Amino acid sequence: MNPKTKIYFGPPLAILTEAENNTMEISGRVNRTAERYLEMMKEHGLELSDAERACLTRVCDFGFMAPSEIREMAIDVRMSDYGIEGLDRELLAGKLEAASFADLVAVVEELGF
Average pLDDT of the chain?
Answer: 93
Q: How many CA atoms lie within 13 A of 12 on its CB side?
A: 6
pLDDT digits 0-9 by tens, 92-108: 999 999 999 999 999 99
Q: What is the predicted pLDDT for the residue at 62? A: 73
Q: What is the predicted pLDDT for the residue at 76? A: 95
pLDDT digits 0-9 by tens, 30-43: 999 999 999 999 99
Q: What is the predicted pLDDT for the residue at 3? A: 78
Q: What is the predicted pLDDT for the residue at 55? A: 96
The segments of the chain whose pLDDT lies below 70 read: 1
DSSP letters of 41-97? HHH------HHHHHHHHHHHTTS---HHHHHTHHHHHHH-----TT--HHHHHHHHH
Write down the pTM of the prediction: 0.85
Look at the alpha carbons of 101, 60, 45, 89 in this order and tell me if their dihedral is positive or negative. Answer: positive
Torsions phi, psi for 13 (to 5 deg): -70, -35
Could you tell me which of 104, 113, 44 has the C-alpha nearest to residue 74? 104
Q: Where are the domains of the chain?
A: 11-43, 50-111
Q: What is the predicted pLDDT for the residue at 32? A: 96
* 3-class secondary-structure state, position 108: helix
